[in-house]
């Protein structure tokens, strides 16, 4: 019961902070929201365009990195009584990774010079 009360209190505090932040955003003037460049209006965009290809490579890295973090504890927990199920799980995991890397290679997602 304590956890439920603490959860409700923390959610109320979070909603209160979000409400205060949204109300504070509307009080700012338009001049404060514009980028400042030595007193002049900026000649170009203030943000550099984001590379979608870099984002895809980063997502692929996170997928393969999370799979590696699943494989490493399996090596530590290898038990002689469950070698068949352990090997099947390891083979399935590695084959999914291998099929994924072949698919990405064929779609040319791994080409840095796109």
- What confidence tens digit (pLDDT) does each residue in 41-92 have? 666 666 667 777 778 788 888 887 887 787 777 777 776 667 777 788 888 8
pLDDT at 14 over 90: yes
What local confidence, expressed as pLDDT, does residue 81 receive? 67
pTM for this one? 0.46
Pairwise pLDDT comparison (64 vs 16), residue with the higher score: 16
Asked if residue 96 is part of any domain, the answer here is yes
Q: What is the CA radius of gyration of the chain?
A: 25
Asked if residue 63 is part of any domain, the answer here is yes
What local confidence, expressed as pLDDT, does residue 37 receive? 59
> How many domains does the chain fold into?
1
Strand partners, 37: 40
Asked if residue 19 is part of any domain, the answer here is no
Q: Could you give the CA distance from residue 114 to residue 111 in angstroms, rounded to a whole number?
A: 6
Q: Could you give the CA distance from residue 9 to residue 32 in angstroms, rounded to a whole number?
A: 34
Which of the four pLDDT bands, split at 50, 70 and 90, describes residue 12? Answer: very high
Asked if residue 5 is part of any domain, the answer here is no
What is the H or E stretch that residue 52 is in? helix 52-76
pLDDT digit string, tens, across residues 24-36: 765 566 656 666 6
Asked if residue 88 is part of any domain, the answer here is yes
Asked if residue 33 is part of any domain, the answer here is no
Structure tokens at 59: 């997502």
What is the H or E stretch that residue 110 is in? none
Asked if residue 71 is part of any domain, the answer here is yes
Could you tell me the residue range of the domain that residue 57 belongs to? 52-106
Pairwise pLDDT comparison (113 vs 7), residue with the higher score: 7
Strand partners, 40: 37
Structure tokens at 69: 């973090």
Which of the four pLDDT bands, split at 50, 70 and 90, describes residue 112? Answer: low
What local confidence, expressed as pLDDT, does residue 16 receive? 93
């Amino acid at each position: 019961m304590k956890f439920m009360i603490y959860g409700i209190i923390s959610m109320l505090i979070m909603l209160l902070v979000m409400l205060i932040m949204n109300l504070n955003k509307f009080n700012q003037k338009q001049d404060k929201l514009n980028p400042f460049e030595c007193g002049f209006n900026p000649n170009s965009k203030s943000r550099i365009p984001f590379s979608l290809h870099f984002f895809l490579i980063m997502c692929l890295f996170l997928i393969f990195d999370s799979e590696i973090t699943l494989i490493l504890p399996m090596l530590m927990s290898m038990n002689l009584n469950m070698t068949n199920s352990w090997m099947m799980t390891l083979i399935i995991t590695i084959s999914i990774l291998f099929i994924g890397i072949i698919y990405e290679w064929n779609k040319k997602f791994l080409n840095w010079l796109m």
